[in-house]
Amino acid sequence: MKFRLRHALAVVGIAAVVSLTAACSTAVSTDSATSTGTATSAARTPVKDLKIAIVLSGPTTDHDFNQVGYEAAEAAGKSVGAKVAFAENVSDANAERTIRNFASEGYQLIIAHSFSFGDATLKVAKEFPDTVFMAGTATSNASNVGTYDNPDYQGAYLAGMLAAGTSTDGTVGWVSAIQTPNLLANLHAYEAGAKDINAKATVLHSFIGSFYDPPKAKEAALAQIQKGAQVLSAQTVGTIDGAIAGKAYAIGALTDQNFLGPQTVLTSVTWDVSPLFTDIAKAVQDGSWTNKNYSYGIKEGSIGLADFHGLESKVPADVMKTVLEREAQIKDGSFTVPYDVSTVD
């Protein structure tokens, strides 16, 4: 596990734990800042010299959930003039100790960027009532613990439209890890988007039973391609490899993943949490922070589609036009993406 300041590096040990989609597994709210849990927010004192720390379950270079969080924390620090530190590859067993270390060192805003760090965050928060903690994608708060989520199901709807519209017969696929609320919301929105563009679309889905098993994800992707899927939503590592091997298209997740398959990845549903982290940092600085659930989606500019890198020609023009119109409707509030976390067979 590595602990780094912006200008310093202190190696404490390495925990080779890669937690990608697992880190963001929970239900989400469609409001940009809503109450969560039952705790009353404590009054805050403005912070002059803010120090921010973020705790990550995987590496900062995973091109996925952890990199998104790390880059957002750095951007927030730069925006508000705060010192930023981070710990990467933190296992669940070491989360409590890592969070406590940052609190003991005087960091006034500590971001626990993993659903699985929720309990550890709540426990440490009791010991440091003057410190603000943000529990990523968690469902419980405390007087000094707020939460934030990843409403990527909004982008999944657009991905479903693109996939079904690009497929010649409407057969598309979706590969992910385990049936958690966040991933179920993503799947159902992807299905709804596919049906929006093609009422007869067929959506194949696979939960591989692991949050990180690239060979198994590749196998699941190939199985769907053999069943006719022409475009896949890559919700776990290895899916794009399967799409490349099976000569299908893929839509990446969280970051622009075109580099993984320049001729395969049409676009990606990206999550930019920088605006959210920056707003939270500003609120801690001026004393206006409360223990809300922050949810920044398409409307706030945090969820969107990455560049098509020249592959837009693979998407029929009328489909692209319809997708962009729907994105605009989600942004202006005239269309609401259905939110469904029901389990599937």
- pLDDT per position in the chain (345 positions), as tens? 444 433 333 333 333 333 444 454 443 343 444 444 557 887 789 999 999 999 999 899 988 889 999 999 999 999 999 999 999 999 999 999 999 999 999 999 999 998 889 999 999 999 999 999 999 877 789 999 999 988 999 999 999 999 999 999 999 999 998 897 889 999 999 999 999 999 999 999 999 998 779 999 999 999 999 999 999 999 998 999 999 999 999 999 999 999 999 999 999 999 999 999 999 999 999 999 999 899 999 999 999 999 999 999 999 999 999 999 999 999 999 999 999 999 999
* pLDDT at residue 210, as a whole number: 86
* pLDDT at residue 63, as a whole number: 87
* pLDDT at residue 10, as a whole number: 32
Domains in the chain, ordered, with CATH? 2-150+273-295 (3.40.50.2300), 153-271+315-332 (3.40.50.2300)
CA atoms within 13 A on the CB side of 166: 28
CA distances from 266 to 154, 252, 324 (A): 18, 8, 15
Other beta carbons within 10 Å of 79 = 15
Q: Give the burial string for 275-304 (b: 16+ CB within 10 Å, else e).
A: bbbbbbbbbbbeeebbbbbbbbbbbbebbb
Instruction: Yes or no: say if 302 and 273 are a contact pair by the CB < 8 Å rule.
Output: yes
Write the DSSP string, 239-275.
Answer: HHHHHHHTT-EEEEEES--GGG-TTTEEEEEEE--HH
pTM of the predicted model, to two decimals? 0.83
* pLDDT at residue 64, as a whole number: 85
Other beta carbons within 10 Å of 210 = 13
d(CA 37, CA 47): 25
Query: CB-based contacts of 186: which residues, under 8 Å, 6+ apart?
Result: 152, 153, 156, 176, 233, 235
* pLDDT at residue 182, as a whole number: 84
Write the DSSP string, 123-169.
Answer: HHHHH-TTSEEEEET-S--BTTEEEEE--THHHHHHHHHHHHHHSSS
Which residues does residue 305 pair with via DSSP β-bridges, in sequence order?
269
* pLDDT at residue 178, as a whole number: 87
